[in-house]
């Protein structure tokens, strides 16, 4: 099992190479490296001194992307074409987001299904992967501009609570941006590494990482032994942060002025919000803030500010308590506390966290940069530059199985440490389906036909059930010798099948390298193909469901309604044949819009029928 570095210019395998660390944040993103001369991690800065790149993408009328500060400037005048917080959409379906969908000023496709969300700008649809890749591409260009060398490899951070799909989406975004993503690491792990915690091979520690940003809060409890970080628990609130402090201040000022209290004047509200943020920042170092808004003086002093934000801080401590409970630990087991995120600059936050854990917290590094700095430290370790660090055996290529449409579904991503295990649930496509073929592949391409087949077997004897009902759990277990054991089990009936393979068998380093190079070269076409296959699968399911619906409920529908539905079905069918992903999505959307009211009517009728003769009270 080898660790492979490839030089994309010469194509040669090399162990030492500069790899960047990237913090792909909800609000801001940034890149860091370990300086070869000083061996210290630093955030990369443009000549303007700024390291943070707002995680915002604006699309102009021609569909050309603009990223960062330039995009942020368009938030007010072109909100529907300026996408912020794309990270919140990663790996999410509309159903996951519906509660918060109204908060986004751009259009999220609300087809009310379990499929992954897309953002619509004009006639184009963007997946969160594509949006994140625009940000990563900008970061890559910035790094290349600053370092004056090509940058092709990165370590990217994600929140500890990200699931497999969200991690895979982040990997794909990197790939699409032309980056070889050597590893995805947890943000709290990165923050600990930035402080040098866990870098020594024989270290054992329990760490709490408190991360309060602009719009999100989370706390993670980590345990490190021998260079291996384990997340014991994580807790938080994905809608709690510095923005809430700004809102509390602005509301306080509004409440103190009769005219402002009920104002709907957008520009006044915006001015209040901006002044509130300025006040908050100033109060981190001063006792009193004053400014003038619309000819009126507004004031806030530190003690009043503390009172306003006290409930918010209390909520974060509740999360800390919960995280400790989930980890089965008490406060005395925590050896170190690390502060992350711009809002931890607020003195009250620091004080409360300090007294909660009864410990001086780590706040020496810039809390906006600490995650990226840690990613750079991890990158440096992977590059083999840090000899103190224990090097782990890793899987050189991703391992996964074939799913609908010939797509590769990765269970163990490349560069995962071994031993390792992973599992995922699948289901059947057809009513009464009694068998399922499990094909195991290795490689980085999105379609299995471009990867290497390792093994295949049939899980048979699944009892007859409607499509979608059986639960087939596929598990991958890779042991310390690199032997992969794949098993599939139908959970309702217990039928099971297992196979063993040696993924590295007959594969040279040169072949591994070629597979990696191919995946980078074909990233765009691969991801486009995957998107097309997914859109087609979704469209096909929509057609099947509508067809079933029409034949079952034709008595509920007017002939004109049936005709309208049929005409949209035909349009969707020809869209599928055109292989135009955007058109397929648009027509799926339209068919859904047309048929949804009918489905609701049938539901209502069924409900009335069921209630007939029953007293409600």
Contact set with ligand AMP (CB under 6 A): 25, 27-28, 213-214, 241-243, 277, 280-281, 284, 341-343, 345-346, 368
Find all residues with CB under 8 Å of 481, minimum gap 6, and list them. Answer: none
Catalytic residues: 23, 87, 187, 211
Long-range contacts formed by 222-225: CB under 8 A, 24+ apart: 222/188, 222/189, 222/192, 224/192, 224/197, 224/198
CB of 324 to ligand AMP, least distance (A): 23
Spatial distance between the Cα atoms of 409 and 441, rounded to a whole number of angstroms = 9
Residue closer to ligand AMP by CB (options 30, 323) is 30
CB of 350 to ligand AMP, least distance (A): 10
C-beta of 78: minimal distance to ligand AMP in Å?
23
Which residue's CB is nearer to ligand AMP, number 180 or number 363? 363
Q: For residues 149-181, b (16+ Cβ closer than 10 Å) or e, as one string? A: eebbbbbbbbbbebeeebbbbbbbbbbbbbbbb
Q: Which is nearer to ligand AMP, 284 or 573 (CB)?
A: 284
Kindly state the smallest distance separating residue 281's Cβ from ligand AMP, in Å: 4
Cβ-proximal residues to 64 (8 Å cutoff; 6+ apart), any chain: none
Q: Closest separation between CB of residue 243 and ligand AMP, Å?
A: 6
Is residue 520 packed enough to be buried (19+ CB in 10 Å), middle (13-18) or exposed (0-12)? middle
Residue 264 DSSP label: -
CA distance readout (Å), 15 to 198, 209, 381, 518: 22, 32, 11, 20
Is 195 in contact with 7 (CB distance < 8 Å)? no
CA nearest neighbour of 209 among 370, 380, 90, 21: 370
Segments in 196-257 forming alpha helices (H):
242-255
CB of 277 to ligand AMP, least distance (A): 5
CB of 321 to ligand AMP, least distance (A): 23
Give the SS3 label for residue 161. Answer: coil
* Nearest to ligand AMP of 280, 445 (CB atom): 280
Q: Given its phi and psi angles, is residue 71 left (phi above 0), alpha (psi -120 to 50 degrees) or beta? A: alpha
- Dihedral (CA of 53, 57, 60, 66) sign: positive
**Which of residues 128 and 367 has its CB atom nearest to ligand AMP in the complex?**
367
Decide: residue 62, CB within 10 A, 0-12 exposed, 13-18 middle, 19+ buried. exposed
CB of 28 or CB of 120, closer to ligand AMP: 28
In the bound state with ligand AMP, the residue whose beta carbon lies nearer, of 135 and 381, is 135
Q: How far is CA 37 from CA 34, 123, 140, 152, 608, in A?
A: 9, 49, 22, 21, 76
């Amino acid at each position: 099992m080898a660790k492979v570095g490839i030089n994309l210019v010469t194509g040669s395998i090399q162990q030492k190479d500069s790899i960047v660390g990237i913090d792909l944040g909800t609000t801001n993103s940034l890149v860091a490296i370990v300086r070869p001369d000083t061996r210290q991690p630093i955030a990369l800065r443009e000549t303007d001194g700024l390291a943070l790149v707002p995680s915002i993408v604006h699309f102009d009328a021609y569909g050309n992307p603009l990223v960062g500060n330039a995009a942020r400037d368009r938030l007010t005048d072109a909100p529907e074409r300026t996408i912020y917080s794309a990270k919140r959409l990663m790996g999410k379906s509309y159903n996951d987001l519906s509660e918060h969908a109204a908060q986004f000023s751009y259009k999220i496709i609300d087809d009310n299904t379990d499929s992954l969300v897309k953002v619509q700008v004009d006639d184009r649809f963007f997946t969160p992967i594509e949006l994140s890749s625009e940000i990563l591409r900008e970061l890559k260009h910035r790094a290349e501009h600053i370092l004056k060398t090509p940058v092709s490899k990165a370590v990217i951070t994600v929140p500890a609570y990200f699931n497999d799909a969200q991690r895979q989406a982040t990997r794909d975004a990197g790939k699409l941006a032309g980056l070889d993503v050597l590893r995805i690491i947890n943000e709290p792990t990165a923050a600990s590494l930035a402080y040098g915690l866990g870098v020594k091979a024989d270290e054992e520690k329990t760490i709490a990482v408190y991360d309060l940003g602009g719009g999100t809060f989370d706390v993670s409890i980590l345990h490190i032994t021998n260079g291996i970080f384990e997340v014991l628990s994580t807790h938080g609130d994905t809608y709690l942060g510095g923005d809430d402090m700004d809102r509390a201040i602005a509301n306080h000022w509004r409440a103190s002025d009769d005219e402002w209290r009920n104002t709907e004047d957008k520009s006044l509200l915006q001015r209040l919000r901006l002044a509130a943020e300025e006040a908050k920042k100033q109060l981190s170092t001063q006792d009193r803030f004053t400014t003038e808004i619309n000819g009126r003086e507004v004031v806030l002093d530190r003690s009043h500010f503390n009172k306003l934000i006290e409930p918010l801080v209390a909520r974060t401590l509740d999360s800390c308590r919960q995280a400790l409970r989930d980890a089965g630990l008490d406060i005395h087991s925590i050896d170190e506390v690390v502060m992350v995120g711009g809002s931890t600059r607020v003195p009250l936050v620091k004080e409360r966290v300090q007294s909660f854990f009864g410990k001086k917290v780590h706040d020496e590094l810039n809390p906006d940069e600490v995650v990226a700095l840690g990613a750079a430290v991890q990158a440096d370790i992977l590059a083999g530059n840090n000899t103190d660090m224990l090097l782990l055996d890793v899987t050189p290529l991703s391992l996964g199985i074939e799913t609908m449409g010939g797509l590769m579904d990765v269970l163990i991503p490349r560069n995962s440490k071994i031993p390792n295990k992973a599992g995922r649930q699948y289901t059947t496509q057809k009513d009464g389906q009694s068998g399922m073929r499990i094909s195991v592949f290795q490689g980085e391409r999105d379609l299995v036909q471009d990867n290497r087949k390792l093994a295949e077997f049939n899980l048979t004897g699944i009892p007859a059930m409607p499509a979608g009902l059986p639960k087939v759990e596929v598990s991958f277990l890779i042991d310390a010798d690199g032997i992969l054991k794949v098993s599939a089990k139908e959970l309702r009936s217990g039928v099971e099948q297992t196979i063993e393979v040696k993924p590295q068998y007959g594969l040279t380093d040169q072949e591994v390298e070629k597979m990696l190079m191919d995946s980078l070269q074909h990233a765009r076409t691969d991801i486009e193909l995957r998107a097309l296959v997914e859109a087609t699968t979704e469209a096909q399911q929509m057609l099947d469901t509508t067809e079933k619906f029409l034949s079952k409920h034709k008595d509920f529908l007017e002939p004109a309604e049936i005709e309208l539905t049929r005409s949209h079905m035909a349009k969707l069918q020809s869209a599928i044949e055109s292989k135009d992903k955007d058109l397929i999505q648009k027509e799926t959307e339209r068919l859904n819009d047309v048929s949804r009211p009918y489905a609701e009517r049938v539901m209502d009728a069924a409900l009335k029928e069921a209630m007939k003769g029953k007293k409600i009270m």
